[in-house]
Amino acid sequence: MLSLVIPCHNESRRLVPVAHGALAHLSQWPGGSELILVDDGSTDDTWMRMERIRRNSPDRVRTVRLRENAGKGAAVRAGFMVARGRVWGYADADGSAAWSGLGRLAQALAEPGVGASVGERTTGDTIAHPARRALGALFRGAVALLADTGVDDTQCGFKLFRASAVRPLLSRLTIDRYAFDVELLHLLKQRGHAVVGVPVTWTHKAGSRVRPVRDGLRMVRDLVRWRATPRRPFAIPMPRTSAFRYSSSP
The Cα 118–Cα 185 span in angstroms is: 9
| Residue 248 pLDDT | 36
DSSP 93-107: TT--B-GGGHHHHHH
CA 103 → CA 26, 90, 106, 110, distances in Å? Answer: 10, 14, 5, 11
* Single-letter amino acid code for the residue at 98: A
**pLDDT tens by residue, the chain, 250 residues:** 999 999 999 999 999 999 999 999 999 898 899 999 999 999 999 999 999 999 999 999 999 999 999 999 999 999 999 999 999 999 999 988 889 899 999 999 999 999 999 999 765 445 556 666 676 677 777 788 888 998 988 888 999 999 999 999 998 898 998 889 999 999 999 999 999 999 998 887 665 566 656 666 788 788 888 887 755 444 444 455 544 333 233 3
Provide, for the chain, the percentages of residues in helix, strand and coil under a 3-state DSSP scheme, each rounded to the nearest 5: 45, 20, 35
Structural domain including 172 reads 2-248
| Residue 240 pLDDT | 52
CATH of the domain at 232: 3.90.550.10
| 3-state SS, residue 210 | coil
The Cα 163–Cα 120 span in angstroms is: 21
Look up residue 239 and give its DSSP letter.
P
| Residue 232 pLDDT | 47
| Residue 132 pLDDT | 63
Q: What is the number of domains present in the chain?
A: 1
Close Cβ partners of 52 (under 8 Å, ≥ 6 residues apart): none
Bridge partners, 158 (sequence order):
91
Segment (H or E) for 90:
strand 87-91
CB 64 within 8 A of CB 239: yes
- pTM of the shown model: 0.85
| Residue 246 pLDDT | 31
| Residue 112 pLDDT | 96
| Residue 178 pLDDT | 82
As a residue count, the chain comes to 250
| Residue 211 pLDDT | 61
| Residue 115 pLDDT | 98
